[in-house]
Amino acid sequence: MTRNEVTELIITQKLSKKLTLPELAKGSGMSKEWTTAVLTNG
């Protein structure tokens, strides 16, 4: 998978499960700032 495909998959799941970026960050073990940067900086 490409980076864009992975990002799209994560965002699709985020929306379908109604998760927030802080919740995603907690699940990944990273900070919310890191998680936001990874998902928004292509």
Query: HSE of 27 in the Cβ direction (CA atoms, 13 Å)?
Result: 8
Query: HSE of 32 in the Cβ direction (CA atoms, 13 Å)?
Result: 5
pLDDT of residue 33: 92
pLDDT of residue 4: 87
- The amino acid present at 7, given as its one-letter code, is T
| Range 4-40 burial, b when 16+ CB lie within 10 A, else e | eeebeebeeeeeeeeeeeeebbeeeeeeeeebeebee
Summarised one tens digit per residue, pLDDT across range 1-42 is: 898 898 899 899 999 999 998 998 899 899 989 988 888 875
